[in-house]
């Protein structure tokens, strides 16, 4: 009788252990997030060494290469016919979507007008291992024709004609469009930016001078470049 009781107890104990180990306990973690269109237009400080300024100077003071550039043509009334002053400013564009760059111009002067300052986009460099290819960047209208190289100077009158000028931007104008630029990276990563070279040209001439209101003799134009996504 004692032997049978021991056997029964052993069987009951084994069944209870099996029931506990067969009951799982689980939970889930949802990992989620969203992407958003992102564009960046900055001053390109990494590709300035090869740019040659003629009769003009400038510098960018924006923090973190934010575009805040002052271009100074200096005194432009010497009347040196045929001697063009030219300046180049490189921009670094990044995006994870297609983009549009629009220009808008503000300012006025009675003597040196927007039509006296040639403007063009002379190079769009798609170099960089993290730039999306193939590229489909389009410079609008005649803005792709170099302002200085295509300027026509009338030696008899001193007048100059540019293919495009700041006057062609006016209140607002689309100057550049394209497809997605950057393959990953951030707004400060190397090798994921499209380098866009802008050119500004002016021919010094005997522009007017106001001996009474000296402020009239300084021309100030502000070109605002805005990059947007669809």
Name the band, by pLDDT with cuts 50, 70 and 90, for residue 1.
Answer: very low
- Supply the pLDDT for residue 18: 54
Domain ranges across the chain: 39-228
Give the mean pLDDT of the chain. 89
C-alpha R_g of the chain: 32
Are 194 and 90 within 8 A, CB to CB? Answer: no
Contacts 24+ apart (CB under 8 A), 27-36: 35/96
What is the DSSP code (8-state) at residue 112?
S
Which pair of structure tokens corresponds to residue 110?
Answer: 């009675």
Rounded distance between C-alpha atoms, residue 18 and residue 127, angstroms = 66
What would the 3-class secondary structure string for 151-165 be? CEECCCCCCEECCCE
Is residue 134 reached through a cis peptide bond, with omega within 30 degrees of 0 on the bond before it? yes
Decide if pLDDT at 180 tops 70.
Answer: yes
Name the band, by pLDDT with cuts 50, 70 and 90, for residue 13.
Answer: low
Rounded distance between C-alpha atoms, residue 130 and residue 124, angstroms = 16
Name the band, by pLDDT with cuts 50, 70 and 90, for residue 4.
Answer: very low
Rounded distance between C-alpha atoms, residue 90 and residue 197, angstroms = 4
- Residue 180 C-beta-side C-alpha neighbours within 13 Å: 10
Strands 117-125 and 194-202: antiparallel
Q: Which residue has the higher pLDDT, 37 or 5?
A: 37
Decide if pLDDT at 12 tops 90.
Answer: no
Name the band, by pLDDT with cuts 50, 70 and 90, for residue 106.
Answer: very high
Q: What is the pLDDT of residues 141-179, one digit of tens each?
A: 999 988 888 888 887 777 889 999 999 998 999 999 999
Q: Rounded to 5 degrees, what are φ and ψ at 3?
A: -65, -40
Q: Rounded to 5 degrees, what are φ and ψ at 217?
A: -90, 0
Whether the full predicted model's pTM is greater than 0.75, yes or no, is: yes
Decide if pLDDT at 14 tops 70.
Answer: no
By CB atoms closer than 10 A (0-12, 13-18, 19+), residue 42 is buried
Decide if pLDDT at 225 tops 80.
Answer: yes
Q: What is the pLDDT of residues 33-87, one digit of tens each?
A: 999 999 999 999 988 877 888 999 999 999 999 999 999 999 998 777 678 899 9
Rounded distance between C-alpha atoms, residue 188 and residue 51, angstroms = 21
């Amino acid at each position: 009788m004692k032997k049978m009781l021991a056997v029964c107890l052993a069987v009951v104990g084994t069944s209870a252990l099996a029931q506990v180990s067969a009951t799982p306990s689980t939970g889930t973690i949802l990992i989620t997030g969203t992407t958003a269109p992102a564009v960046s237009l900055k001053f390109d400080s990494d590709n300035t060494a090869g740019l040659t300024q003629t009769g003009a100077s400038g510098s960018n003071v924006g923090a973190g290469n934010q575009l805040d550039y002052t271009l100074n043509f200096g005194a432009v009334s010497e009347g040196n016919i045929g001697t063009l002053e030219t300046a180049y400013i490189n921009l670094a564009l990044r995006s994870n979507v297609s983009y549009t760059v629009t220009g808008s111009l503000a300012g006025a002067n009675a003597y040196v007008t927007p039509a006296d300052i040639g403007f063009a986009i002379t190079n769009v460099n798609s170099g960089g291992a993290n730039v999306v290819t193939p590229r489909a960047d389009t410079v609008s209208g005649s803005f792709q024709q170099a302002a200085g190289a295509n300027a026509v100077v009338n030696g008899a009158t001193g007048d100059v004609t540019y293919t495009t000028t700041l006057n062609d931007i006016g209140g607002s104008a689309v100057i550049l469009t394209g497809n997605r630029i950057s393959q990953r990276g951030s707004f400060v990563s190397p090798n994921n930016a499209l380098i866009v070279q802008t050119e500004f040209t002016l021919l010094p001439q005997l522009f007017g001078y106001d001996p009474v209101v000296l402020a009239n003799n300084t021309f100030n134009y502000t070109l605002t470049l805005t990059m947007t996504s669809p």
